[in-house]
Structure 1
Amino acid sequence: MHELMVLLQGVVLGIAIAAPVGPIGLLCIRRTIEHGPMMGFTTGMGAAVADTIYGAVAAFGVSAAVGYLRDHQIVFQLVGGIFLMVVAIRTFRQSPAAEQREADAAPDSRTWVGGFMTGLSLTLTNPATIMAFIAIFAGFGLGGDLGRFDAATLVFGVFIGSSLWWLTLSSIVASIRHRFSDRRLVMLNHYTGVALAGFGIWALGSAVTGMASLAMS
């Protein structure tokens, strides 16, 4: 019974981390509409794996890893911001092809892998993810004092919760994707590109502010 409760706590944590709309959420929605639910889901699964990695760092209380992430936060923000800007520009300029709407009938595994790697990279280069885990774990009274089995169970629950969120989101969006014309898809690409650029500018701005603070100290 105790293990089940720990697992359920992990599921809740996974959903709580994944659910807020951010860069990965926007990409999942856009790619589901344009390329099909599998593309959106694999993009989200990249984020789910990254969430699991950071969840493991927080659950097992790996202080050295947490310290490294904090000490190199500016580097992560720079890399993540640049990556987001590249993805934003590509998204804004992309013109949807009609045949890609039938991606379910003729799937391209290389595209799925690309989506997975995008979700994984964007989430891993976001130091706010690990900080969010630490804060939420503290709020739940969890953390480095967990036994190894409980910590592993909690991390597994995080993976399940995050995966369920991306499966649910991509499935819901897939149910309405037939309503999007080419014109609407182009508009969606533009809106998504602008939003992703906003996240990128915020990350780069945070990095610049951090460097300025270090220079003044």
Structure 2
Amino acid sequence: MALVTTLAGAVFGIALAAPPGPMNAIIAEESVVRGWAAGFWAGLGAMLADVLFFVLTLLGVVAVIDQYPTIRPVLYLAGGVLMLYFAVGAISEARSAASFTDGGRVESKGFRKTFALSLTNPYQIGFWLTVGVGLLESGTLDVFAHVPAVGDALAGTLIVETGSPALLVGFFAGIGVWIVAYPAALSSAGRRVDSLAPVIAALSAAVLAGFGALFLAMGAMGLL
């Protein structure tokens, strides 16, 4: 069960880290403009925030946020402002980075960007208030038991032990795999196609601007 639990945790970690969003936009920008190391450090910033939230969840500190309804709207506003600010920087990158190596002379701020965004990301905090708490509680989870149509046939075939070190190790290992492989793929593509760097930087700016506007709107509605 330990091996199965570790592998399930790794798959879950990759699934959590992979979807498009502001963090992956920054990782992508850093990877194609400055190379794999910059993209990896940007990913590490987001991962470090998850480690911090994990520790705070263990201590029960994260749950305090639910007791104060105004905290989440304030976090949305702060995160929205940061995303719009980083979007402006990404636009500048898109204009100046004519090729993969052009941005390499400028110091990377990807780690600080993703770490700051993660700390003000209500979605990330919400994950640790809900799913994260479930990961830490001791017990077992029959993964296929509740799948429609095939649940009865597959029940008992994949049992995951929640609250175990194996699950948590696998979970963070999965995130680690993503922040290594994703920048590697993008930086490799950037070396082969010079025009990819400004395109990715422009797309990153668009993603950050979109999420920034969304977060500002959600924060404003939450305070009204």
TM-score (ref. length: structure 2): 0.75
Aligned to 1:192: 204
In 2, Cα distance between the equivalents of 1:205 and 1:61?
A: 32
CA contact 1:88–1:197 (8 Å) conserved in 2: yes
In 2, Cα distance between the equivalents of 1:137 and 1:178?
A: 38
Amino acid at match of 2:136: G
Aligned to 1:143: 136
In 2, Cα distance between the equivalents of 1:168 and 1:199?
A: 24
- The alignment's C-alpha RMSD in Å is 2.9
Could you list the per-position Cα deviations for residues 16-72 of structure 1 after superposition, in whole angstroms to 9, with x for gaps in the alignment?
Answer: 2211111111111121111111111110111111122223444x372x422326631
Query: CA 1:99–1:20 in structure 2 vs 1: closer, same or farther (change >3 Å)?
Result: closer
Aligned to 2:152: none
Aligned to 1:43: 42
Query: CA 1:54–1:17 in structure 2 vs 1: closer, same or farther (change >3 Å)?
Result: farther
2:179 paired with 1:166: yes
Aligned to 2:168: 155
Question: Which structure 1 residue ranges, 4+ long, deviate > 4 Å from structure 2?
Answer: 150-153
Query: CA 1:51–1:181 in structure 2 vs 1: closer, same or farther (change >3 Å)?
Result: same
Which runs of 5 or more residues in structure 2 are unaligned?
Answer: 140-162
Q: 1:65-214 maps to which residues of 2 (within 5 A)?
A: 65-68=62-65, 71=68, 72-94=71-93, 95-96=96-97, 100-101=101-102, 103=104, 111=108, 114-137=109-132, 142-145=135-138, 150=163, 152-182=165-195, 184-212=196-224
Larger radius of gyration: 2
- What is the number of residues matched between the two proteins? 198
Query: CA 1:127–1:33 in structure 2 vs 1: closer, same or farther (change >3 Å)?
Result: same
TM-score (ref. length: structure 1): 0.77
